[in-house]
Amino acid sequence: QEYHYRYSIPKGGNVLPGFIKPLLYRMIINPLTVLNIKRYLSKKYISPDDLVDLDYTFYPLHIEPEVTLLVYSRYFLNQIEVIRNIALSLPSGMKLVVKEHPAAVGKRPLSYYKKIIAIPNVVMINSSVETSTIIKNSKLVSTISGSVGLEGIILGKPVIIFGNAPYQILPETTVKQVKNLSLLYKDINFMLRNFKYDQDKIKIFI
């Protein structure tokens, strides 16, 4: 396969990665990256037991590249800055809990997570923790446009989104789309005070 990749047309094409490079990535580079990241973050993670007494908003990282970011939310491609804006807009005393997408572990550099942890008011939790567990203990679910938003709605939590998602058709007291980042704090306060769980409308949507 590698010989065919090297000496056929189109040789060296970016679309065709060959055989050796993907094998090296899967067997050596990615596992070492995952090990290094886990070793560093293991001391930074909060425990699932801490969630019970913590006042927090939940933000799940999107895997990249992903159509929900590149197509439906192209103005919010920089997730670190989205996290920064959420953290700055939360009510006093509320934390932002960030969870990596399980499929993205090892695909981002360690420096990416260091930038997230450096943001005041932000904590991270292990990607192996069940999303439903984090949602159930949260006060608010925030996502750019992922399916976690719908999961939050079903579990009876207020949701804010930044991009476009099919479930934004639900009432504004259930899910609110952020139109202006400078007014994000108002959107968060609105959802925390005015959230209504409308089971009938959620059933109709599903």
Confidence of residue 159 (pLDDT cuts 50, 70, 90): very high
Share of the chain above pLDDT 90, in %: 81
* Per-residue pLDDT reduced to its tens digit, 82-138: 999 999 999 999 999 999 999 998 899 999 999 999 999 999 999 999 999 999 999
Which DSSP string corresponds to 89-143? HSPTT-EEEEE--GGGTTTS-HHHHHHHHTSTTEEEE-TTS-HHHHHHH-SEEEE
Report helix, strand or coil for 60.
Answer: strand
For residue 145, is pLDDT > 80? yes
Q: What percent of the chain has pLDDT over 70?
A: 92
Tokens 């929900």: give the residue.
Answer: 68
On whether the CB atoms of residues 94 and 188 are closer than 8 A, the answer is no
Question: CA-based angle 137:102:14, to the nearest 5?
Answer: 150
